[in-house]
Amino acid sequence: MTSLRRFLVISVLSALMLVNFIAALHGYRASMAEAESLFDQKLSEMAAQFAAMPLPDFESPPSADDQQMVFQIFSAKAKLLWRSSHAPAEIISDELGFGEHNFNDYRWRTLVYENPDSGRRVVVAERVDQRYRLAESVILESIVPVVLILPVAGILIWLIIGHGLKSLDVLAKILRRKSPDDFGAVKVDGAPVELQPVIQSVNSMLSRLSASFERERRFSADAAHELRTPISAIKMHLHNIREELPSGSESLGSLSKDVDRLAHLVDQMLLLHRTTPDHYPAKFEQISLENLAREAIAECYTDFAQKQQTIELDGDVARVDGDRFALGILLQNLLNNASKYTQQGGRIELITQTRGAQVWLTVADNGPGISTEAQRRVFERFYRLGGDRHSSGAAGCGLGLSIVEHIAELHGAKIVMATGLDERGLAVSIVFPVSLTAGKNSQASLGAGKSLRRGSREEAQ
């Protein structure tokens, strides 16, 4: 049963119908017995009246009747004195008292009564089917209202149970309204005793989650200090060793690359932890993606220049509600990935577009691209296309796009991957929903001048 309310209503109604059925059956049988007693009493009274009537000693003409009740009156010498028109001429029964007999194609309830003073014998009979029909009509009139009231009872039970389960709805609404970083205790005013264990269990779970997240935050802060500090010291020692050893030492170069990779891994792991949507302390504001993209390009300028790559910024004025720090990390990761995996002298383009109720931020390149199957895995942590021996030779740890996914989720955006520039390479698009204020500001800016549809380009060669 998927609905507790429906289960309770059906169960209560079923129990109510069963009890009513048993009560009605018992009442029917008792009522029929009582009706039989009343009908028999009526026959007894009628027989006594006939026995006391003054009648001649010769047979009188038959009396008219209603075909449902007949009588016979005999003298003490068993001579028929009077009968109803539908009663047979022969005596119906010789046995005193009540009985049942068949005649005139019906079953009859009979009573043979004898007057002790005159010896006169009276036989009265009543059709059994008529007796049952009359009794059942009376009894059913009292049972039918009980059956008809069941739908009304069902509605009342539904409303009453709904009122009783209202505290569950209140608890559900409180839990739905809680933010991901709110681990405060849940309080439901007027909660019934049965719901208290559930509330206590929920509060206990929230308390444990709060302690767990606090431990993670402490780990992040401790890891940032404990890991970055020795790495910085190692870099310093490497610099000193480089001054002492002959230039061009292959081992020293490899060691330097490994230390740089380790530093990059630590930074990415900490960023991955910090950008988790469940506990990232986001500060949303109106942000121009165009200006943020310019800043990200400037920060990554050295990487583009070393590989003689061309970077272009194009598109519409686009504004979104977002966290500046998180979106900056998102752009840097996308640009770094594009630079790493695009060949020497390749081309990268960063595009911002407003499409209806959405803002598209796209980073496209003309590198080797990735297969459709690999696109489904690139957001997995520590996954690198081709593993650590990627053909590009670029150092990485496979966390960049996982961080991008976290930040996109934080902003309610989705990620779309497609073919990049020149019918090759890779294009990664972040699709943001446009807020009401952002949409208005964007339209106003576009109306002010479409010359911002980027004639400006930044190139590093």
| pLDDT, tens digit (0-9, with 9 covering 90-100), for 93-144 | 878 888 888 888 888 889 888 888 778 888 988 888 877 777 777 677 767 7
Those residues whose C-beta lies under 8 Å from the C-beta of residue 325, and which sit 6 or more positions away, are none
Q: Is the pLDDT of residue 386 over 60?
A: no
User: Looking at 86-100, 201-215, 241-255, 378-392, which range is the least confident one?
Assistant: 378-392
Cα separation of 446 and 443, whole Å?
A: 5
Locus of tokens 């079923």: 14
The answer to whether 359 and 445 are in contact (CB under 8 A) is no
Q: Is the pLDDT of residue 455 over 50?
A: no
Q: Which is the CATH superfamily of the domain at 282-452?
A: Histidine kinase-like ATPase, C-terminal domain (3.30.565.10)
The half-sphere exposure of 87 on its side-chain side, counting CA atoms within 13 A, is 27
Q: Is the pLDDT of residue 58 over 70?
A: no
Residues in the chain, how many? 461
pLDDT band for 396, please (50, 70, 90 cuts): low
Q: Is the pLDDT of residue 77 over 70?
A: yes
Q: Is the pLDDT of residue 443 over 60?
A: no
Q: For position 459, what pLDDT does the model report?
A: 39
The answer to whether 341 and 401 are in contact (CB under 8 A) is no
Q: 289-299 vs 324-340: helix axis angle to the nearest 10?
A: 50
- Per CATH, which fold does 191-274 belong to? Helix Hairpins (1.10.287)
Cα separation of 262 and 172, whole Å?
A: 45
Q: Is the pLDDT of residue 230 over 70?
A: yes
Q: Is the pLDDT of residue 276 over 50?
A: yes
Cα separation of 359 and 293, whole Å?
A: 14
pLDDT band for 186, please (50, 70, 90 cuts): confident
- Average pLDDT score over residue span 357-368: 90
- The domains of the chain are located at 4-151, 191-274, 282-452
Q: Is the pLDDT of residue 338 over 50?
A: yes
Q: For position 348, what pLDDT does the model report?
A: 92
Those residues whose C-beta lies under 8 Å from the C-beta of residue 127, and which sit 6 or more positions away, are 67, 68, 69, 106, 107, 108, 109
The answer to whether 329 and 402 are in contact (CB under 8 A) is no
The answer to whether 289 and 325 are in contact (CB under 8 A) is no
Quick count: other Cβ atoms within 10 Å of Cβ 432?
A: 24
Straight-line distance from the first to the last Cα atom of the chain, in angstroms, rounded to the nearest whole number: 68
Domain 4-151 has CATH 3.30.450: yes
Closest alpha carbon to 329 in 406, 433, 435: 406
